[in-house]
Structure 1
Amino acid sequence: MTVNVKDVAAAAGVSAGTVSNALNHPERVAPETVERVRRAIRDLGYVRNDAARQLRAGRSRSVGLIVLDMRNPFYADVARGADARAEQDGLSVLVSDSARDGERERRLVDLFAEQRASGVIATPLTGDLEHFERLAERGVPVVLVDHEGDSDGLSTVSVDDRKGGRLATEHLLARGCTRIAFVGGPSGLRQVRDRFEGARAAASAAGAALERVEIDDLTVRHGRAAGEALLRRPTGRRPDGIFAANDLVAVGLLQALTMTGGVRVPDDVALVGYDDIDFAASTVVPLTSVRQPAELLGATAIELLAQSPGEHVRFEPQVVVRATA
């Protein structure tokens, strides 16, 4: 038999309205009454119809989170930070992967709108934000993560990737590297483009050479393939410093350099990654990386959902020095 609010009210000796207040606005009800209602709920095994309540309210208690690539632990850390902060507000986070597919991104935005999400957080694929702007115009708060602010109707939280690229390259230059390669791609990704621009600015200021090695994806496999290609060059034409666009690429490069090429890292080639994901410190040679505060990005995005649209928060990156550079 299905237990309803009236059954709970009868067991607790209160009205159905008091049960509703005890569940949704306990501050309006005497503590001893709240406890009687909760005891009745436990005894009867009552489960409230949250879907119906959300329908009446016009919004669910869920936040949609759309990330670029679930394979990258950086986005898992963003989701962890968002989920921990959302829990404090009685919200849940539903995570989806756009897989760097623009059409899929749009479908996910539409899906969260249909589900009456209380807000949407996303790492957008491109600068085309029309579908996010339409969602915001319908009254759904939108926060873009890892994206610079360029829309008054959307809030953003990001890290200065140009500065991160500059810091990584300046670190390699300070180690005495004179032939530096940037390994990353696709170049259409804003994060890759900004990190390269920062690296190029640092190299240019120092009068140093910077080579761009384009890869198709930011994965360990593509990083390893790039490393193997660099090793096929004569020793004098190899870079003596490498800046990888993210840590997964850096791990693949490290595998190629140390496991198949007999190259000493950092003595022969210094290596810097980006993101400082958890296992960067646990690679065969602990990885020097540019840290992004991933969990803080996620937590801040949740907080921005409750604020006026058009807020922009930007964090500073930092180089975490370990054994590879």
Structure 2
Amino acid sequence: MSEKRSSRITVKDIAKIVGVSATAVSMALNNRGALTDSRREEIKRVAAELGYVPNAGARSLRGSHTRSFGVVINYFNNPFFHDFFMGLEDVTNKIDFSYWVSQTWDDLEQEQKQVRKLAQLGVDGLIVLPCSKEISHLTEMTSRFNIPLVLISHSLEQHFPAVVADNIVGARMATEHLLSLKDRPVLHIAGPVEAKSGIQERYQGYCQAMEAAVPDFDAQRSVFYVERLRAEDSYEIMSEILKYYSLPLSLFVVNDETALGVLNYCHNNKLRVPEDISVVGFSDIDLLESLNISLSTVAIPRREMGQYAAHKLLSKIDLPHQNKPCLGENEIITTLPVSLIIRDSSRIR
């Protein structure tokens, strides 16, 4: 057993401090047995102070590892994860690892709850798509419970290892492409003001390209924010954009799902794409080419992100799963390249 894994708090540790048997601790934590109320509460108090996490997986296995990951994502129906999980399985299938998946609905309270539940299952490590900049529950996993953790899509500075796409370069490429269409303003539909790092980086890339090309560029006049990254939010904001700008115009949209709301608005209001409004999204989710008007976008290497995330996490678990170096294991934040895909929504003939 590795040093990290052996430092996780056990019922024996609690028993030693309280001065009872491990069986008594187990009974107290599971509300069983003929213990006095005061002794039961004392055991629970000590367990909480030590940061004890019941390890369901360890109870069912006799080894020091459960050979499993926990993966925390925002939505089960997020198209991004189809290829991501293929990449994850490229690695895990070769070494007989499994993984548990939970969703947060982009809600911090749910994220905190799901992270803790996976820890209770005894996973050997966690892969998390963070929904905010709050890190206390993630720090608890790594520093208090010694569960390795890797972030995907969004980094939290240098606090945790992460695998991300090159959002700044991708946003610059998308914006420069729209600027090349000439004679139309290039606007940005951005994520919330307190958005995650990847969303903020797309805003930064847009601003960099605009500042280099437009001498009097003013982000306050050119950026429109949605509260959530969903199609219905961008649909609603289109009427506000058209109050301030006349056609034709170009839109770089924070992600593909939000961009689909723009296309839907144009269709319902008989606006021509790309003649009246040209659109570029970000991520290259599945089915974009099969739309009535295919969406231009920035492609993220989703499958590769899954591979890198798995390798990076395995390198923290201290298992003899492979002899060669793991992909990206020596980098705190691994940034993967992106590419611009030009389709009908921004192809002016």
For normalisation by structure 2, the TM-score amounts to 0.71
Give the equivalent residue in structure 1 for 2:309. Answer: 301
C-alpha distance in 2, partners of 1:177/1:57? 66
> Judging changes above 3 Å, is the alpha-carbon distance between structure 1 residues 177 and 304 closer, same or farther for their aligned structure 2 residues?
farther
Equivalences, count: 272
Mapped to 1, the partners of 2:57 and 2:258 lie a distance apart of 43
Letter in 1 for 2:141: L
What is the alpha-carbon distance in structure 1 between the residues aligned to residue 174 and residue 137 of structure 2? 34
In the alignment, structure 2 segments of 5+ residues that lack a partner are 1-55, 317-328
Bigger CA drift: 100-109 or 112-121? 100-109
CA distance in 1, matches of 2:268, 2:165: 34
Residue 272 of structure 1: how far off its partner (Å)? 0.1
Trace 1:22-41 onto structure 2 (pairs within 5 A): none
Q: CA contact under 8 A between 2:100 and 2:118: conserved in structure 1?
A: no
Which residue number corresponds to residue 277 of structure 1? Answer: 285
CA distance in 2, matches of 1:193, 1:297: 19
Distance 1:209 1:237 in 2: 17
Q: 1 CA distance for matches of 2:185 and 2:335?
A: 31
SS in 1 for 2:315: coil
CA distance in structure 1 between the aligned counterparts of 2:78 and 2:133, rounded to whole angstroms: 21
1:150, 1:263 → 2: CA distance? Answer: 41
Preserved contact between residue 85 and residue 302 of structure 1 (Cα < 8 Å): yes
Evaluate the alpha carbon distance shift between residue 106 and residue 228 of structure 1 in structure 2; reply closer, same or farther with a 3 A threshold: same
Aligned counterpart, 2:152: 145
Correspondence 1:133-212 to 2 at 5 A: 133-137=139-143, 138-148=145-155, 150-151=157-158, 154-176=160-182, 178-190=184-196, 191-207=198-214, 208=217, 211-212=222-223
Residue 262 of structure 1: CA displacement? 2.0
SS, match of residue 237 in structure 1:
coil
Question: Which residue among 218, 222, 225 is the counterpart of 2:229?
Answer: 218
Percent identity of paired positions between Structure 1 and Structure 2: 26
* Paired residue secondary structure (1:324): helix
1:203 deviates by 0.6
Is the 1:169–1:202 contact (alpha carbons within 8 Å) kept by the matching residues of 2?
yes
- Which has the larger displacement, 169-178 or 244-253? 169-178
Q: How does 1:119-138 map to 2 (within 5 A)?
A: 119-137=125-143, 138=145
Aligned to 1:253: 262
Which consecutive residues of structure 1, in runs of 5 or more, have no partner in the other structure?
A: 1-49
- Check whether the contact 2:154–2:162 (CA below 8 A) recurs between aligned residues: yes
CA deviations over 1:7-47 (Å, ceiling 9, x no partner): xxxxxxxxxxxxxxxxxxxxxxxxxxxxxxxxxxxxxxxxx
Q: CA shift at 1:54, angstroms?
A: 5.4
TM-superposition CA deviations, 1:127-174 (whole Å, max 9, x none): 33232233223332211111236336x321111212221111111011
Q: Which residue in the other structure is 2:36 paired with?
A: none
Q: Is the 8 A contact 1:65 1:79 kept in 2?
A: no
Give, in angstroms, the shift of residue 81 of structure 1: 2.5
Higher mean C-alpha deviation, range 203-212 or range 242-251? 203-212
User: SS at the partner of 1:163?
Assistant: helix
TM-score, length-normalised on structure 1? 0.76
For residues 167 and 54 of structure 1, the distance between their equivalents in structure 2, rounded to whole angstroms, comes to 51
